[in-house]
Amino acid sequence: MEALTAHLSQLGHGLVTTVELTVVTTVGAMLLGIVVATLRIAPVPLLRAIGTAYVEVFQNLPLLALLVLFVFALPTIGITFPLFTSAAIVIAVYEGAYLAEAIRAGINTVGVGQAEAARAIGLTFGQSLRHVILPQGLRAVIQPIGNICIALLMNTSLAAAVGVVELTQAANNVNLVEAQPIAVFTGAGLAYMLLALIIGQVTGLLERRLAIVR
Amino acid sequence: MNKTQQILFDEPGPRAQRRIRIATVLGAILLVGALVAAVYQFASHGELAAARWEPFTTWPIWRYLLNGLWATLRAAAATAVLSAALGLLLALGRLSTHRPLRWLAGAYVEIFRTVPTLLLIYVTLFALPQYGLNFPLFWKLVVPLVVSNSAAFAEIFRSGILALDRGQTEAGLAIGLRRGQVMALVVLPQALLQLAPSLVSQLVGLLKDTSLGFVVSYTELLYSGQVLASYTHLLIQTFLVVALIYLVVNASLSKFARVLQARNGRFGGRRGRRTAELPPPLLEGNTPR
């Protein structure tokens, strides 16, 4: 226990970094996901192909390989960002592919009649997407999106492997000093479970408030 | 045209066709622009020089990378077999009629679904050795992967078992089978068939997880790339090639999962039990069956 309390600020910093990374990448990935899902259902074949390629590439590459490529290799062609920013960009791009697929599944649940009605009153593709399809589609997949956010939270730990000191790395650092692995790693594990629980509760709440009963 | 597109827009008329052409051109310009920018960025830092790519046409480099891939596949195979077996046991435990068993399996799944795999790897790397549990390198990667993937497999199995019609279990019980027999002879075979695509998709995730070998210095593909890059100083080239190998392997697996998915739909359709999931008759002509 002393191992935990003695390094509370260090672990606290790690926890804050994990939360920041999770929040920033969730927002980024959500925006990317909406854009890519839109590309995948657009009337333009080229745009559909781009959307599909995006999802294929980023769902089939390991996140760690992307992080290593971005953080260690891109500087050789003159592309450098602060470490936290790099990690955030990569995780957002990676999770964006998963969110895009979830959003597309949501769009598939929207009734054909809804889209037909939108077209019948003269809405364009963009308008019907914005006012009719997406609002309903997103509300249908709140639960899957929540699960992806929990996966995202766990994936932020990979930033540790390229040098971001977030919760996992902070726990590791504290353990290397204190040699109290059980206390330190259990503490970190509990923190992750707590964060996942919060995400689960929030999505549950959102689902109860927003889900459309058909 | 697939279902989504049918939902969102009609067969384009002359005006829409013109707009589609404009959007195609704009999209192409953006795409080409991005490619040109990338090539320029590579060229201006001298990374396009033939000498920096040539090594990747030679056998020794490929032999090294393919060795890495082989190690990746070995780790993935071991993880897959062990975590599928453990996952099945956990799923059966969660569905068991014995409360303690249900509770234990449930706790295991809930805990390891929300604890990052990297944290588990750090535990096997830095914590367990202090208690005399020092695995060989291969198992330092595989054990934590099994712990976290078995929780994922358990959830897949459980959802598949729960999704199966109750009548199947009832019929099994009615003809005098015991619960265990019903599970083994009636429920599981059908659930596994339905689950095949999800299980293959999970394999992709698992194969991606083996890249964590990078952290434990197990020479799987990503770590091999790292070693190779520090030896040849061809940083970006090596990691791009490594990424390409991952992409080819995993995209093939994903494709296989989609093929299974399409097949399963047909099996279900023939049995006529999953008709509720089929698209409404209006769209029938557009579905691939």
**Token pair listed for A88:** 């955030």
pLDDT in tens, B187-211: 999 998 889 889 998 999 999 999 9
Nearest CA in chain B to A66: B243
Compare CB distances from A43 to B20, B225, B246 and report the shortest one's residue: B20
Residue A96's nearest CA partner among A84, A107, A88, A86 is: A88
- Which of A4-18, A56-70, B266-280 is modeled with the greatest confidence? A56-70
| Residue extents of the structural domains in chain A | 1-210
pLDDT value of residue B271: 47
Q: Which residue of B has its CA nearest to A191?
A: B115
Q: Can you give the pLDDT at residue B289?
A: 31
The pair of three-digit structure tokens given for residue A165, joined into one six-digit string: 């000191």
According to the model, what pLDDT value does residue A28 have?
A: 97
Give residue B170's pLDDT: 92
Distance in angstroms (rounded) separating the CA atoms of residues A214 and B7:
18
Please indicate whether, in this complex, the C-beta atoms of B222 and A68 are within 8 angstroms of each other.
Answer: yes
Minimum distance, in Å, between the CA of residue B83 and any CA atom of chain A = 18
Chain B, nearest residue to A114 by Cα: B7
- Chain B interface includes A45 (CB < 8 A): yes
Residue A29 distance to chain B (closest CA, Å): 19
Q: What is the pLDDT of residue A177?
A: 87
What is the structure's pLDDT at B7? Answer: 61
A101 Cβ contact list (under 8 Å, min separation 6): A37, A55, A59
pLDDT score of A93 more than 60: yes
- Considering only residues B50 and A93, tell me which one the structure prediction assigns the higher pLDDT: A93
Q: Do A192 and B116 touch (CB under 8 A)?
A: yes
Chain mean pLDDT for chain A: 91
Instruction: Name the pTM for this structure.
Output: 0.88
Binary contact (B122, A44; C-beta < 8 A): no
Neighbouring C-alpha atoms within 13 Å toward the C-beta of B15: 2
pLDDT at A22 over 60: yes
Q: Which residue has the higher pLDDT, B1 or A37?
A: A37
Residue A180's H or E segment, with its range, is: none
* Dihedral over alpha carbons A51, B53, B213, B66 (to 10 degrees): 100
CB contact under 8 A, B9 and A155: no
B167 by Cβ neighbours in 10 Å (0-12 / 13-18 / 19+) ranks as exposed
Integer-rounded Cα Rg, in Å, for chain B is 25
Q: Tokens representing A21?
A: 């990374």
DSSP character string of chain B:
--HHHHHH--S--HHHHHHHHHHHHHHHHHHHHHHHHHHHHHHHTTTT-HHHHGGGGSHHHHHHHHHHHHHHHHHHHHHHHHHHHHHHHHHHHHT-S-HHHHHHHHHHHHHHHSS-HHHHHHIIIIIGGGGT----HHHHHHHHHHHHHHHHHHHHHHHHHHHS-HHHHHHHHHTT--HHHIIIIIIHHHHHHHHHHHHHHHHHHHHHHGGGHHHHT--SHHHHHHHHHHHH--HHHHHHHHHHHHHHHHHHHHHHHHHHHHHHHHHHHHHTS-GGGSPPGGGGGGS--
Residue A2 has pLDDT above 80, yes or no: no
What are the pLDDT digits (tens) for B56-76? 888 999 999 999 999 999 999
Contact A85, A16 (CB under 8 A): no
Q: How far is B221 from chain A (nearest CA, A)?
A: 10
Q: How confident is the model at residue A181 (pLDDT cuts 50, 70, 90)?
A: confident
How much is the pLDDT for A13?
93
Listed in sequence order, the DSSP H helices in A42-122 are 45-60, 63-68, 83-109, 112-120
- Per-residue pLDDT of B236-255, as tens digits, reads 999 999 999 999 999 999 99
Least confident span in A107-116, A147-156, A188-197, B150-159: A107-116
Query: What pLDDT is attached to residue B71?
Result: 95
**Segment A94-141, tens digit of pLDDT:** 999 999 999 999 998 888 888 889 988 988 888 988 999 999 999 989
Q: What is the pLDDT along chain B (289 residues), one digit of tens a residue?
A: 455 555 677 777 888 889 889 999 999 999 999 999 999 999 998 888 888 888 888 899 999 999 999 999 999 999 999 999 999 999 999 998 899 999 999 999 999 999 999 999 999 998 888 888 888 999 999 999 999 999 999 999 999 999 888 899 999 999 999 988 999 999 999 998 889 889 998 999 999 999 999 999 998 999 999 999 999 888 999 999 999 999 999 999 999 988 888 887 555 444 444 444 444 433 333 333 3
Which CATH class for the A1-210 domain?
A: mainly alpha
State the smallest CA–CA distance between residue B176 and chain A in angstroms. 39
Q: What pLDDT does A166 receive?
A: 93
pLDDT at B47: 86
